[in-house]
Structure formats: C-alpha cells, structure tokens
Chains A and B, each alone.
Chain A
Amino acid sequence: MDPEELRYSADHEWVKVEGKQAIVGITEYAQSELGDIVYLELPDVGTEVVMEEELTEIESTKTTSPVLAPVSGKIIEVNDELKESPQLINEDPYGKGWIVTLKMTNPDDLENLMSAKEYEEFIEQGSDDDR
C-alpha cells in the first residue's frame, strides 16, 4: 500500500478506503514508538465499532497500547496472520501488518482524518513537543 494514498487518525492509525470498506492498520511512526510487538488479541468479525473507540490492544515488549477505530463500522475481516506473527506490524505496517477491514457505517467519518502530508506535519509537531 502506498502511504501517500492513505488517510490518518491523530491516534496514529491509517485507513485505506476501498468503496465502503476501510482497511485499518497502525502507522510506521506508531510501530516505531511501540517497539517490538509481541501479541494482540484480534476482535471478532461482525463486531460493530464506533469511531475513536477501542478496536483492539497491541502488546509490545514495552507497553500495552490501544488501537482506536479511525472510522465507525462493522468488522468484516481480521488479519489472522497477526495471531502467529504480530511482528508483521513492525515489519510491514502498511502492508502485511494490516489489522482489520471495516464496512463503514458513516463514510463522513473520513473527513476527520488527515492526508499523508497533514499527518507528516502532525508527527513533526508532536515530536517537537516531546523535547
């Protein structure tokens, strides 16, 4: 997936929109901040999620971090490969490390998300604040 074409949340999830479907993962920046990811419990297919509410939690060697739903929708697919190989999120966050596919219930949610350029600026500002 080309990171340029994705939409981004302030909580560092990315969304790839395909019609009414949204593939969701976490960003390169997020995986780098989390460190080695060792486990995540995938949500059940069919679960309805609301934008900015918890989709799942990622366990890294360092900490537990929630993944928030960047848009509202129903989970129609989960990346089962992550059960055995959670490190795919570290290795390929925009590809093999995708987490779920949602069927969006409110496509207007996408308006809350950032473009690649906006997200890049957002991270730069955030990193400055940390110093």
Chain B
Amino acid sequence: MTTTSDLLTTALHGAHRALGAKLVDFAGWEMPISYAGTLAEHAAVRRAAGLFDIGHMGRIDVRGPGADAFLSSLVTARLDDLRPGSARYALVCSEKGTILDDIFVYRRGTDDWLLIVNGSNRLKIVDWLERRRPRTVATVDRTLETGLIALQGARAAQILGALIGPDLTRTPLHTFADVTWRSIPLLVARTGYTGEWGVEIMAANGAMRALWDAALAEGKAAGLVPVGLGARDTLRLEMGYALYGNDIDDTTTPLEAGLGWAVDLTKAAFVGKDALVAQHQRGVGRKLVGFELREKGVPRHGHPILAGGTPIGGVTSGNLSPTLDKGIGLGYVDAAHSALGTAIDIDIRGKIKSAVVVKPPFYTKRNPSP
C-alpha cells in the first residue's frame, strides 16, 4: 500500500483518503476516525444513516468435521440450537473465566462457522484456535483478503433495499444471508454496534470499493454519510455496549461485566466454565454499571469512582453523549454500590462530579425505524 508505516490498510483506504478522512492507528490498522466530524456523523446515524469501514475486525472461518463441538468448547454461548444463517454474541474466555475476546459466531451450516472478532484480538484468537483445534477442523483467517462494512441508521433499511434488494430489509436481527450483487457474492448480516437498524456486509477485497461507492451514491439523498471510528465509539457508548480493551479484558469476567446473558453455564464444558460456575455461586465482587453525570463534565476511562469519598471502582468508558448532551459512562463498582439509582461520584482529575447508576441503554429510539 501507499503508506510508509507498518500499519495495515483495508481495501477502502483510497476511498477514505479521497473523502478527506482523518486517519489514525487503530489496532494496527490505519482507519478513519472521522470525515466531517464525529458529532455530525453520530447525528447522521441517529437521524438518517451512516456507512462504516470496519475491515479491521477479524474474520475467521472455522470448518470441518468436529467444528461444532470444537467451537462450542471455546465459547460461552450455547451453539447447538443456533440455526444455519443465524449469528450469536459470545465470549471467548481463559481458564480463569476472564475475557479473551467478545465475538460474533455465524453458523453457515453443520461444522461450518464464521467468527467476527475484535481487530485488536485477531492474532490472539487465531492462535488460541490453532493451538486447540482437532486435525479435522481448519481455522482460516480471511481478514486480509476480505472487507467488512456496516450500514447503520434510521434510514439504513430503505437504503439497503434500494441498493441490494428489498427482501433483505425483512431479515430478522442476528441472521445473515449470502446474496449476489452485480455478480459479486456478499454476506449480509443483520448485526451492528450502533443501536440502530443496520447490516454488516462482507465481501472479497476486490469488490469493496465498488460496494462502498455504490452505497454512498444510493444513500446520498436519504442523508447517508461515511462515519468514522470516533462516532462508532460514541454510538456504542450511548447503547451501553462493552468495548474490548476498555470495559472488558483479560482481567474481567462476563459475570462481572453484566454479560451473563451470553454465558450458558448449563452447556457442556467450555474453557473458563468451571471458574465461571464458581464465581456464579460465590457472587461477583464488582459489577460493570452504567452511570449518568448529574452535572456537566466528561468522564473518561481511568477516572476513579467514589461513594462518600471512598474509592469503589473506576470508569472504563465515558464521554459526553452527543444525543443527550450529558456525561455518560460505564465502570466497575463494588457490587454493594451497583444498584440502579445509587448515587456515586466521579473523580474527574480532582474535580468531584455527582453521578447516578442507571441501566443502559442511555439512548432509546423514539421512533422505530421503517
């Protein structure tokens, strides 16, 4: 590629440059953080639609006889009831029950899976799979040969219908379909990280630029704009979605992070199950909670959380909510202070700001999308 650095670039790198994007190093990739500005992009997704390059996310095939049992032994979610064409959120845990990654598993068929993993964890997860796979199962990292974009927003369905086909707009959440667009095979999945109606579309690198340009052209009249990782972060925070590396990592467990819904402690053995069963019986000492500031201020990762002057935890994600115009965040607190409505304080570089524990999402759509 044209950069002089060691960063990876997606097939859309040229498109980002042409659009005047501000590019940053993200998980080893040179990615757009914004085009016109994070606030404008955030608002566009909430009111109209946004197109995101999320090609830095890892895409890994796991297939071959025994792949069902193999994958099930490595993730927290139940998989045996997942139908072909469906996807599910799951955690990959260590033996200690701490989180190695949060991923989406896509079931293509029996013993045939696609995993979407965090860009920052791709090599770790590929290695984790490689070390444990039976010889009959192949794990193939397809990240560098493919691309992934997200079309999300109040008007995303309308744009997708016009771009690819109206049938797709009726696809249920967390299902996916293989479709052909201009003779190009695409995988279109009803998934996303914004809280709006949306899809994520995977295709070979060679098709990505045409798809990106066609989507922007098709959606222009409806208000579709390219959206960078800056707004992706503020959009996901308004929904209270955990971000790996900020809110969850290999020192936190799914039960502490409020992700127990993605853990099936009744299924057959999986890595980390014993530790999680023990923690479930014992109870968690700390919990990831959402909070809102009751005065003006911007909480950030690392700020101490206090109750009556005593440290009870720390902020893991925080920002000024663009939609609500108030400080919001996620953070771990001692379980005793985790109940909804609990008054807490955030120590913002020595300035104590009062906050209250609330249940995410911070943002709720007023009007359902068409």
Contacts and interface: CB of A to CB of B under 8 A. Distances in A.
Nearest to B320: A38
B296 interface: yes
Contact of A39 (B37, B40, B296): B296
A61 B234 contact: yes
B360 interface: no
A95 interface: no
A59 B325 CA distance: 13
Interface residues of B, number: 23
A64 B234 CA distance: 15
A61 B39 contact: yes
B319 A61 contact: yes
Contacts of A36: 37-40
Contacts, number: 42
Given A38-B298, A39-B320, A61-B38, 5 more contacts: A35-B38, A38-B320, A39-B297, A64-B298, A64-B300
Interface in B221-259: 230-231, 234
A64 B302 CA distance: 12
A57 interface: yes
Interface of B: 3-5, 22, 33-34, 37-40, 42, 230-231, 234, 296-298, 300, 319-320, 322, 349, 351
Contacts of B351: 41
Nearest to B4: A131
Contacts of B5: 131
14 contacts: A35-B34, A35-B38, A36-B37, A38-B320, A39-B296, A39-B298, A41-B297, A59-B320, A61-B320, A62-B33, A62-B230, A90-B37, A131-B4, A131-B5
Contacts of B296: 39
A131 B4 CA distance: 7
Interface of A: 35-36, 38-39, 41, 57, 59, 61-62, 64, 90, 131
Contacts of A62: 33, 38, 230
A37 B42 CA distance: 14
A85 B230 CA distance: 20
Contacts of B22: 35
B320 A35 contact: no
A38 B40 CA distance: 12
B39 A57 contact: no
Contacts of A90: 37
